[in-house]
Structure 1
Amino acid sequence: MASDTDFYSILGVSRDAGKDEIQRAYRKLAREYHPDVNKDPAAEERFKQISEAYDVLRDPKQRERYDAFGPDFRRVPPDMDPADYARARAGAERRTSSRGDPWGGGTGTWEEWPEGVRFSSGSAEGIDLDDLLGGIFGGRGRRGGPIPGSDQEVEIELSVEDAYHGGSRSLTVEGAGGTRTLNVKIPPGVVNGQRIRLGGQGAQGLGGGAAGDLYLIVRIADHPRYRLDGRDIHVDLPLAAWEGALGASVEITTPGGPATVKVPKGTSTGRQLRLRGRGLPNPKGRPGDLYADVKLMVPHRLTREEERLFEELAGTSKFDPRRRR
Structure 2
Amino acid sequence: MESIQTKKPTTTAAKRRFVNASIAYIFLLPWLIGLLGFTMWPFIQSFYLSLTQSTLHSTTFVGLDNYLRMFSDERFWKSLQVTTKYVMLSVPLKLAMALFVAMLLYKASISMTFYRTLFYLPSLIGGSIAVAVMWRKIFGLDGLWNSLLGKFGIQGKEWLGQPDYALYLLVLLVVWQFGSSMVIFLAGLKNVPGDMYEAAMIDGAGPVKRFIKITLPLISPIILFNLILQTIGSFQVFTQGYVITKGGPMDETLFSVLYIYELAFKQQQMGYASAISWMLLVVIAIVTAVVFLTSKRWVFYENDMKGGH
Q: TM-score, normalised by structure 1?
A: 0.27
Greater Rg over alpha carbons, structure: 1
Query: When you count strand as a share of all residues, which structure comes out higher?
Result: 1
Query: When you count helix as a share of all residues, which structure comes out higher?
Result: 2
